[in-house]
Each structure stands twice: as structure tokens, then as C-alpha cells.
Structure 1
């Protein structure tokens, strides 16, 4: 009898805990064809997203999010699985003090400014994205460097601040020969009122070596950049512009870096059209390297969470690459 009473009490307590929180599940999938500039191929993917949320007796909200293929990143807070797809495993708590997130959120500059409009079924290389130095946008050392992001909104203005702990993979030294981290920090400020937004961010990053190898520390110096952006919405049309300027490091030294771009999105009943143009410039010891990207995409809403999506892109790179690529298929949201 005591065992029955104990089991019943445990069941009631568990039900009460579940009622105090919320677990939302959603998913997305795609299927279609992809042209990489040389040949055609098939592309498909299915994912499930878990969003967890709750509230304390004092009114603080908390939660987390991860995808089913990010379960490792959700557990360690590094979000390093499927990094090419911008994976995230993030936990947060929020209240009158603002919002504090840890794991793999965006860095402060990216959270404030954002990216240009995306095109295509697969993102087509995501050349619409700004080369941020910190947070999940880090393209130099990979997104496994744990990040903390703080944000606070007052009126129409939101302030952001982010930093990393300077160690890879949650501080675990799995392979001393590869044990490098990244000491990152950033700040951002965004003003949004009605149909207009202006944002700015600053970020700084430097590779650190956890086993004290001076050779790693001299490979990349401290990198810094400013990022500016603005949005304007006119009915069903949104225009976005971004500019970044700073210093980037390579093995040969630290050089000036600059990028700028513009994009737009327009909706006509069931059709949405997006386009972007972006250019990056990196000075080097031998001259200036310039990369140029263009993209044009469309989406036709079929209803019920399904849509026809396609895009075409062009890139002209400093290494001599000059090609056109594209994709087309069907997306599903559940």
C-alpha cells in the first residue's frame, strides 16, 4: 500500500511540474534539386525543433531550444553538430533585468544587426550572411566556442553584449594538439520604431592556445570590426543594407577588411521574392582580394505549410572561381 501511495504521489508531482512548463515541438523538411556550378544533384533534409519554456513563481521566464540533430550541442552548450547549418543549442533566463542566454546564441553584433535576406531552397552557400567574428556566425574557428549573450530593451532601443570563455567545447581538452579557444566579446545597439530599424555592433576576437603553444597565438592576431545596418519596410516590401569594416588576421599578418551589401524582400499575394548583392574586400601582403556575390530567390505558398522554393546565385571570387549555381524544390513546415 505504501508503494502505491508513493507512486501515486510521484505521478501527481510530475504532472504538476509538467503543467508549470511548456515543451513545443515543430519541424521542417525540404526536397529538391541543387546545381553547384558544375553538376546537378538531389537535396533533402528533415529536422525537428524543440522549444522549452517555463516561468518561476516570481515571474522570471526561462527555457532552451535545440534541434533533434543538435542533441549533443544542447547538452554541452557548444552547438557544434552540423556546424555548416548554423546549429544552435541555447538556454536562457529572462526578467526585468533583461535576457541572458548561454550556449550557441548569436554574438552581440549579429544579434543587433543581422544578415541580408536569404535566397533559395538550401540557402545556396549562405553568401547573404555577414562574416561575423563572434557567436554562432564565427566562420574562422567554427561555432563550438561557448558564448553568453545578454540583451536589455528600453523603449525602442535594445542593448546587446556577448562574450566567450576562451575555451573550446565547454572547457574540455579532448585533444591537446588541437586545443585552441577564442577570446571573444562584442556589443550591439539596435533602434527599431515602426517600419524602420537602425543598428550597430562592435566585436573583437582572438585565438588562444590552451596548451601554451606560442605558434598558435601568432597565427591569428586580435581581430576587430564594426558592423552597421538598417531596415526599412514599405508595405509588403523590405529593404536592408549592411556595412562592416575592421581588421582580419591570417598567417601572414593582420590586414584591413571591408564588406557591404544590400537586399530586399517583396510579397505579392502568395509569392515572395528575395534578392541580395554583397561584396567583401580583404587586403593582403600581395594586394587586395575581392569576392562578389549575388542571389535571387522566390517562394510560392501552397498552403498548409508547404511551399515551392527556388533560387539562383552568382559568385566571383578572388581565387578565380566564377560560376552560377541554383536550387529548386518543396519545403514543408510542421
Structure 2
């Protein structure tokens, strides 16, 4: 399903200056969430409202030489599991772009998070209204950089180059937080992603190396970086009314495979089903955060027109208790 983002555009121009473009876009979503996992949380109902309202502000201008310079910030507020989330503003992302090259600084997107095939082709890029835990992701047990609406973000730099069907993306981030004054021993991540699209097919490969992050004990060795040696591969195809994506990821904690299939039903409905199989590394004895087993889910969307979509989703997790979640609600974009 292809989703159109409608943007309100204001053009501001003064004598002697290049025209500046300001765009405001965003979305809202709201619905009901039933989650069996909440039964084990004291004071929390298993059925709650889930909602989010997001505004994205983009501004850019162009030099006399044709170089685009711009920035982005985001504001959002949400409610999950019966708790009202505070309204937050993101830190800014700045960019410089020319031709097929774009460089982002600050609250970067991240090479891993930008990999085609990592997320589902849905309004939440997961299952249901709010992603429902994003159990469909093949990456398990490792963090990676992503643009965040909450606070400072990761603080990094990245370069994206596109030409024809090829896209290359490399990113680096550094978070302060070291114990020694003037040191740079906060979490650092370096990642690269390569994608090639040809006709209705694509293939993607990505890799991440990290330092000074969360550690685990693996194979009797303490201090192994959980975010290090993350590998991700994906391939997908669009067969007109049908589509499919296969993704594989390997982290320090687990190997994981996800197969997702998509079908357009009539002119307005889309059905996506996925299954994920995760095999944990049994030599991880301290710090293991990944559950071994199989999870699956199904997502249904009906386009009501005007940027409004009805969304319903079901997920069964890989937890030993095979916890079930169900969501239904509306998503609208503007």
C-alpha cells in the first residue's frame, strides 16, 4: 500500500535571498490495545487506549550554487498502556544536499534504521496502530541509531548517496557519558547500508560496529559489546497485487529470520502477514535480552480516503507464554 503524506507548504522570500521552503506534516493515530503481557504488571489493565499525535517541521533553502541546506525538528505526544506520555520535541537534524548526495548532522536517521526491508509496509511500519512491539524485526538484542522525537537523539553524522537503483548510507554517532573528563568513551556506533533496486525487486545489506555500549558475557568472555557485529540482509519483490520480503539478522545474542507477505484485496484493503524465527546464542550467560522461539502477526488496513486508514493487528510473541496482542483504530496523515 502506498501512503501519501500531505504537507502544508509556506514559501518565504525576501529581496536578495533565495526562497526558503517550510513544510509542516505529520499524523495522528488512536485505538484500543489488548495486551496479555500487561496482566503481569501490577496496576495495569490488559486493555488500554493507544494514541499518538506527531508534527514534523522541515525547512530548507538553496544556495546560488544549487546546494540545499535545511533542518528538521519533530514534536509529538502519545498515550500507551493507560499512561499519558509527555509532549516532547526532538533535537534538530540539519542537512546539506547536492545532486544525489545528502549529509545529515545531529539527530540522524541511522544507516541500519534506513535499510529497506527492515520494517513492514504499514502505517505504523510494524503491526497494528503503534507497532505492537515491532516483533517482526529480525534484529534482536542490539540497538541502532534512529531519528528520535524524545530529547537529544543520538548526535551523529551520516552520508546518503543515491544514483539510479543504488543507495549507499554510512552513519556514525557518539553519545557522551564517559566517567573521565574530556573523554569520548560514551556509546559509539558506526554503520553502513547498501541497497540496490532493480525493477520490482531489491536487495539490502547492512553492518554495524559499536564501542562502549551495553555489554554481555558470551562464551565465558565478559564485556562483549551487545551492539557490535550487527549484520542485516533483506530482499523483497513486488508482484503487483502481492509482495514479499525476507530479512535475516545476526547479532551478538541471536540469529533471526523474518518472512513477510503482502496482498492487496480490492481497491482499498491491504493484508500483511509475517512470521519470525529467533535462535538465541546459548553461550550468552549474562545480559541475554532475546527470547528464543517463533512469533507471528497479521495486519489489516482499509483506506477510507482523505489520508484516513482503518488499522487492525494481531501479534503472538515468542515468549514462553505465547502472549497475544490485538489492536484496532484509525490512522490519519496530513
User: Which TM-score applies when normalising by structure 1?
Assistant: 0.73
The alpha carbon displacement at 1:33 in A equals 0.7
Deviations 1:281-313 (A, max 9, x none): 221347895143211011111111222111011
* 1:260 partnered with 2:262: no
The aligned counterpart of 1:274 is 272
Is the Cα–Cα contact under 8 Å of residues 117 and 235 in structure 2 kept in the other structure?
Answer: no
The aligned counterpart of 1:310 is 312
CA RMSD of the aligned region, Å? 3.4
Structure 1 portions without partners, runs of 5+: 1-12, 71-81, 210-217, 249-256
Q: How does 1:48-197 map to 2 (within 5 A)?
A: 48-69=55-76, 89-96=92-99, 98-117=101-120, 118-131=126-139, 133-136=143-146, 144-167=153-176, 181-197=186-202
Alpha-carbon distance in structure 2 between the residues aligned to 1:112 and 1:274:
19
Name the CA shift for 1:155/1:27 in 2 (closer, same or farther; >3 Å): closer
Name the CA shift for 1:16/1:333 in 2 (closer, same or farther; >3 Å): farther
Alpha-carbon distance in structure 2 between the residues aligned to 1:193 and 1:106:
24
The aligned counterpart of 2:6 is none
Is the Cα–Cα contact under 8 Å of residues 311 and 329 in structure 2 kept in the other structure?
Answer: yes
The alpha carbon displacement at 1:40 in A equals 1.4
Deviations 1:167-220 (A, max 9, x none): 35xxxx8999xx9621211112111122010111111112269xxxxxxxx644
Name the CA shift for 1:146/1:279 in 2 (closer, same or farther; >3 Å): farther
The alpha carbon displacement at 1:97 in A equals 6.8
Q: How does 1:226-241 map to 2 (within 5 A)?
A: 226-241=231-246
The aligned counterpart of 2:208 is 203
The aligned counterpart of 1:329 is 329
Is the Cα–Cα contact under 8 Å of residues 264 and 275 in structure 1 kept in the other structure?
Answer: yes
Alpha-carbon distance in structure 1 between the residues aligned to 2:152 and 2:249:
20
Name the CA shift for 1:300/1:155 in 2 (closer, same or farther; >3 Å): closer
The alpha carbon displacement at 1:155 in A equals 3.0
Secondary structure of the 1:109 match is: coil
Is the Cα–Cα contact under 8 Å of residues 121 and 331 in structure 1 kept in the other structure?
Answer: yes
The alpha carbon displacement at 1:14 in A equals 7.1
Is the Cα–Cα contact under 8 Å of residues 116 and 241 in structure 1 kept in the other structure?
Answer: no
The alpha carbon displacement at 1:17 in A equals 8.0
Structure 2 portions without partners, runs of 5+: 1-11, 40-45, 78-84, 121-125, 215-221
Deviations 1:88-115 (A, max 9, x none): 8422111147111122333323323441
Name the CA shift for 1:137/1:220 in 2 (closer, same or farther; >3 Å): farther
State the number of aligned residues: 282
Name the CA shift for 1:104/1:238 in 2 (closer, same or farther; >3 Å): farther
The aligned counterpart of 2:225 is 221
Alpha-carbon distance in structure 1 between the residues aligned to 2:284 and 2:93:
41
The aligned counterpart of 1:74 is none
